[in-house]
Every structure is written in structure tokens, then in C-alpha cells.
Amino acid sequence: MTASTTKSGDHQPKERLLDAAEELFAAKGFTEVSVRELAAAADVNVAAVNYHFQGKENLFHEVITRRFCIQRDRTLDGLQALLDQTEGKPQVDQIIRVLVGEYLDGALSNSFLTMITREMHSGKGGTHVQFFKQMVAPTFAAISRALTAARPSLTPDDLSWIIASIIAQIHHFILRRIKCESCEDVPEAREIMLKAFPALALDQDEYVRLTTDHITRFSTAAIDGLYPEEN
């Protein structure tokens, strides 16, 4: 197969490349994956990477953009559904529960966060730009609107601290889970982690449920204590 022969079947080879790239980048990181390896995994000619994406860098950005959009839309849809159900008057705990539950389950159900975390910590600037444009900005705006609807007295500065705190908790519990799973071949390290935090031994659904409940209760209590409702 050559680049020219893929043209009549654009969609299929392109999607295969995206799927193969997501799996390989998540497992090995951007720098350790070669174009030849990507092409072989997608069952396309090496030239197809340039034909469809103009290089590995653009393919990488397409992969993370696709995952960002899926995760973002899942979170935004959940928040919008809550606003609709409550006629624009949600409770703080309802907002946090939707945000945490959708984000946790989505991130732990695919290789999205593993890949993004690895590449962002490697200092790849392009990853940061994609992340903030595609995920952070629209999600922050939606959470801000929902929290403002629930607690109108919150200032923009209050919102930035509250949202940052909630997201930090989510990331912590996601990374803890990923780290524990990566230690399956290191029994001693895994045992130490499980002893410190037994919930890591639970199946994913139960882990998501209990973590969502904890972050929701913890954060709601903090917001109520620091920013009580005005009578």
C-alpha cells in the first residue's frame, strides 16, 4: 500500500493510525514510538503517516485532541444535564459529583490520562497548548457557570481556587490508581501502596464510586465552610 492508494479509503487508514498511535503512545511515550512502528501497527504504508497527518508530531496532537474532546464533551454534557434537571439551580454537591464521576470514569476507562500525564511531565509544549485549549478552558468555564448558579456569591478568584482544588484531587486519585496498576510486577511496592490506601484493590467501578463520594463530600464541606450561603 502507498500513500496514493490510501486516498480512496481515507477514513479507514486514518482511523487505524489514530487508534494504533493512541495505544503505542500510551504504552511507550511519544519519543519511543517510530513512524515505522506506527505504520506497522495500523497496517498501512509508512508514507501514510505523512499523507494523513504530515508527520508523527501532528499525529500525536490529533490523538490527544480526539481524547480531549471525548472527555471534555462527556463532562460538559453531564453538567448541562444537571442544569437542565435542576432548572438552573443546582446544589454544590451535585455539581461536584457530576464533575468527579464523569472525569474519573472517563479517564480510567482508556489510555487518555496515562499518555497525557507522561507527555506533559516531559515538557512537550505542544501538549500543554492542546490540553488548555481543548480541555481546560471550556471545562473551567462550564464548571464556573454551574458553581455560580449554585452559589452566586462566589467571586472569580474563589472559583479558580475551588476548581483547582477539586481537579487536583481527581488527578491525585487517578494517578494513584495508575501507579498501583503499574506495580503489578513489583509486589513489594504494590503491597505498600495497598496498605496505605486499601481502596486501590477495588474494581474500577467501586473505586470510582467511592472516590467520587469522598471528593464530593470533602469538597462540599470545604466550600460550605469557607464560602457559606448568604441568607
Name the residue ranges covered by the structural domains of the chain.
1-54, 68-226
Give the confidence band of 182 by pLDDT, cuts at 50, 70, 90.
confident
Tell me the pLDDT band of 130, cut-offs 50, 70 and 90. low
Grid cell in block for residue 20:
494504533
Residue 162 to residue 171: CA distance in whole angstroms: 14
The predicted model gives 66-95 an average pLDDT of 92
Q: Helix crossing, 156-182 with 137-150: angle to 10°? A: 120
- In the predicted model, what is the mean pLDDT of the chain? 86
Domain 68-226, second-level architecture: Orthogonal Bundle (1.10)
Residue 114's pLDDT is 62
What's the confidence (pLDDT) of residue 1? 40
Task: State residue 50's pLDDT score.
Answer: 93
> Could you tell me the three cell numbers for 112?
487518555
Whether the Cβ atoms of residue 63 and residue 25 lie closer than 8 Å to each other: yes
Phi, psi of 75, deg, nearest 5: -70, -45
Classify domain 1-54 at the CATH superfamily level.
Answer: Homeodomain-like (1.10.10.60)
Is the per-residue pLDDT at 9 higher than 80?
no
Given a cut of 60, whether residue 125 has pLDDT beyond it is no
The 3-class secondary structure across 153-222, one letter per residue, is CCCHHHHHHHHHHHHHHHHHHHHHHHHHHHCCCCHHHHHHHHHHCHHHHCCHHHHHHHHHHHHHHHHHHH
Checking if the pLDDT of 134 tops 70, the result is no
Give the pLDDT confidence score for residue 5 in this predicted structure: 39
Per-residue pLDDT at 11: 56
H runs (alpha helix) in 32-155? 35-42, 47-53, 56-85, 92-108, 112-121, 125-131, 137-150
Quick check: 43 pLDDT over 90?
A: yes
